[in-house]
Amino acid sequence: MSDSKIHRFHCDVSGIELPAQFTYPMHYVPHELCKIAAHEVMDFALSQDEWRNELLAGKMLGVLVVKDLDNSLGYLAAYSGNLDHNGNHPYFVPHIYNLLDPHGLFRTGEAKITAINRRIEALENSPERGELSHSIDCTIAQQEQEQLLMRQAIDSAKASRDKCRSQGNLSPQQEAAFIKESQHMKAEMRRLKKRHREQLAALTQRLNDYDAHIAHLKQQRRLMSEELQSQLFSLFVVRNARGESLDVATIFDHRLHRLPPAGTGDCCAPKLLQHAFVHHLTPVCMAEFWVGRSPHGQVRHHGHYYPACRSKCLPLMEFMLQGLDVESNPLATAPSSEVQVIYEDQWLIVVDKPAGMLTVPGKDADAKSLLEIVDEMLPEGENALEVHRLDQATSGLVIIAKTKDAQSALRQQFEQRKVHKTYLAMLDGKPPKEKGTIVLPLRPDLADRPRQVVDHDDGKEAISKYRVLEHRGDKTLVEFTPLTGRTHQLRVHASHPQGLGCPITGDMLYGTASTHLHLHAQSLSFTHPMTGEIMCFKSELSQHY
C-alpha cells in the first residue's frame, strides 16, 4: 500500500465478508471490520503519551476501511477538530484545510479579530467608563434622596394646610397664601426634576458615547468574523465519489441557504472520505467512536459508536457520498406499514405503533407516517389528528384524535400531566438502585439535533420514575414512568451518568447501535375527552420483539 495513511489490520480479516453497500453514516450498525480497526486505532492513540490526557478528556475518532488500487484492504484513521494543537499527525488523515497554518487565512484573520476583542475589552473595563457608571449610580441615588425630601416637605406643608382648613374661619388672604404656597412647592419639584434630568442626561450621554463605540467595534467584529468564515469555507473544497468538487460554503448555500456552522468539515467523516477520494481509494465501510470522558451535559460513552452529526456533516455527506452505493437511510423507510388498532370510537383511536415508523410526517422520510396511515384507514369525513408523539425508534401505544375538540382536550391532559404512561426498556448494564426518580433538565443540542443535552441552567424540567423488573445477565429490564414528556427523555435519563448510566439497548444516539431500540410504550391511562370515562390500554412487548 503506497499511501502512508493506510494502516494494515493487525489480525487476519480475510474471512470477514465485506459489506454489500457503503455505510450510511447518519444511522448505522458498525461493520465488524470497522470494530477491529477502531480497537486498533484506540490502542495506538492511547499509547501516545503526548495525546493520552487530551483523548481521555473526550474526543471523537473515526475509521474508514478502504481498498487501494491493488485491491488490498486497510483502513484510515481521523480525529474531529485538532489533537495536541496540531492539525496534521502522520498516523491520521490530514485536515481538508489546515486552519492552524500560522500564515494561513484563519490565523491572520483571527489575529485581526483578536485585536478588536482587546480594544472592546479595554473600553468595557476602562477606569473612565467605570467611574462614569459609578457616577451615574451615585447621581441617581442622590437625586432620589433630594426628590424624596422635597416630596416629604410638600406632604408636610399640605398636611399643615389641611389642618388649618379643618379648623375653619380662614380668611381669603390666608386661602390665597395656601394656594400660592402649594403652587410654588409643586413648581419647585418640577424645576428640581428638570435639573436632575439634565444632569443625568449629560452623564448618560458620555457613557452612551463609550457604549456606542463598543457597539460599533462589536458590529465590526461580527462582520469580520462572518467574512472570515465565508472565506474559510470557500477554501474547504470537498470531493465526492464521482470526482466532483465543491466548496463547503456552496454546498450549504445550495441546500440550506446559509453559512455552515463553525467547525464544518473538521469532523472525522468528511476528513476520511476526502482523503480516500483524493488518493483514489475505494471506501468499504466507516464508523465514528468516542474516546474518553463525556462532554459536560452530553451523553458520550467511551468506546461507543456514534452517527455523524447532522448540523455540520449531513449536508456534506449528501454531496460526498454521491457516486457510492450507500445503504438506504433506515429512518426514511418504515419496516412495516401495518398498524394494530387497540381501541376506536367516534372521537379517538388508540393504535400500537411499530418501531421504525414516524408518528407524524417527516421532511426526508419516504415511508408514510403513523398519522398518514391512520388517516387513510378512517372513513371519509374523519381525520387523524396528532395528540402526542413517540420517537421513530420507539414502539407502542399512541392516541390519535378524530375531532378538534377531542384533540384539544387530550393535549390538555398531557400538558397537565394527567395521562399516565409506562414504558418498558432493556438497558445495557445494571442501574445503581432498583427503583428511583431521575430529575435531569433537557434542551436540544443545537449543533446536533435531534440529540438532547442535560442543562441545569437552561434546560426544561424532565422527570422520570423507574423500577427494575428483571436482571438478564449484563442487561436489565426496567419500567419507566415519565412525569414529563421531553424529547428523548427516557433515552437520556437512562444513559446519562447522572441518571442510570445504562443506555437503552440499541440506542444509537446515546448508547450502542444494534438492530433496534429496546424501548416500548407499554401502557396508557387517560380520561376520555367526551364521556369522562377512565381509559386504560396495554401493549405487550412480545408483539414487537
Assign 501 a pLDDT band (cuts: 50, 70, 90): very high
Residue 365 has pLDDT above 80, yes or no: no
pLDDT at 102: 55
CA 371 to chain centre: 26
Residue 119 has pLDDT above 70, yes or no: yes
207 burial type by CB count under 10 A (0-12 exposed, 13-18 middle, 19+ buried):
middle
Q: Over the stretch 314-334, which tens digit does the pLDDT of each residue have?
A: 999 999 999 999 998 876 655
* Domain definitions of the chain by residue range: 32-97+236-320, 126-209, 340-543
pLDDT at 296: 84
Residue 457 has pLDDT above 70, yes or no: yes
pLDDT at 232: 76
Average pLDDT over residues 533-537: 97
Average pLDDT over residues 518-524: 96
Q: Over the stretch 171-224, which tens digit does the pLDDT of each residue have?
A: 889 889 989 999 999 999 999 999 999 999 999 998 898 889 999 999 998 888
Residue 294 to residue 299: CA distance in whole angstroms? 6
pLDDT at 384: 94
Residue 336 to residue 517: CA distance in whole angstroms? 16
DSSP 8-class letter at 86: B
Residue 477 to residue 421: CA distance in whole angstroms? 17
Assign 262 a pLDDT band (cuts: 50, 70, 90): confident
Average pLDDT over residues 131-145: 92
Residue matched to cell numbers 402526542: 388
Domain 340-543, classified CATH 2.40.110.10, yes or no = no
pLDDT at 88: 75
Assign 11 a pLDDT band (cuts: 50, 70, 90): very high
Q: Over the stretch 476-485, which tens digit does the pLDDT of each residue have?
A: 999 999 999 9
Beta strands 475-482 and 463-472 are antiparallel
The per-residue b/e assignment along 398-424, b for 16 or more CB within 10 angstroms, e otherwise, is: bbbbbbeebbebbbebeeeeebebbbb
Could you tell me which residue, 148 or 229, shows the higher pLDDT? 148
Average pLDDT over residues 140-144: 94
Residue 436 to residue 461: CA distance in whole angstroms? 17
Task: Quickly count: other Cβ atoms within 10 Å of residue 354's Cβ.
Answer: 20
Asked if 397 contacts 340 with a C-beta cutoff of 8 angstroms, the reply is no
DSSP 8-class letter at 75: E
The grid cell for 328 is: 438506504
Task: Quickly count: other Cβ atoms within 10 Å of residue 501's Cβ.
Answer: 17
Residue 28 has pLDDT above 70, yes or no: yes
Asked if 302 contacts 292 with a C-beta cutoff of 8 angstroms, the reply is yes
pLDDT at 337: 66
Average pLDDT over residues 262-281: 93
pLDDT at 103: 59
Separation in Å, CA 325 to CA 25, 115, 150, 283: 13, 49, 85, 10
Secondary-structure breakdown of the chain: helix, strand, coil percentages, each rounded to the nearest 5: 40, 20, 40
Residue 164 has pLDDT above 50, yes or no: yes
pLDDT at 333: 59
pLDDT at 455: 93
Active-site residue identified among 391, 428, 445, 448: 391
Strand-pair partners of 291: 59
Assign 44 a pLDDT band (cuts: 50, 70, 90): very high
pLDDT at 367: 73
Check: pTM over 0.75? Answer yes or no: no
pLDDT at 1: 46
pLDDT over 70 percentage in the chain: 95
Assign 36 a pLDDT band (cuts: 50, 70, 90): very high
Q: Over the stretch 458-494, which tens digit does the pLDDT of each residue have?
A: 999 999 999 999 999 999 999 999 999 999 999 999 9
CA 358 to chain centre: 20
Does the annotation count 12 as an active-site position? no
Q: Over the stretch 367-415, which tens digit does the pLDDT of each residue have?
A: 788 999 999 988 888 899 999 999 989 999 999 999 999 999 999 999 9
Asked if 464 contacts 504 with a C-beta cutoff of 8 angstroms, the reply is no
**CA geometry: angle 525, 528, 532, nearest 5 deg:** 115
Mean pLDDT (the chain, rounded) = 90
Assign 15 a pLDDT band (cuts: 50, 70, 90): very high
Assign 342 a pLDDT band (cuts: 50, 70, 90): very high
Residue 431 has pLDDT above 90, yes or no: yes
Assign 545 a pLDDT band (cuts: 50, 70, 90): low
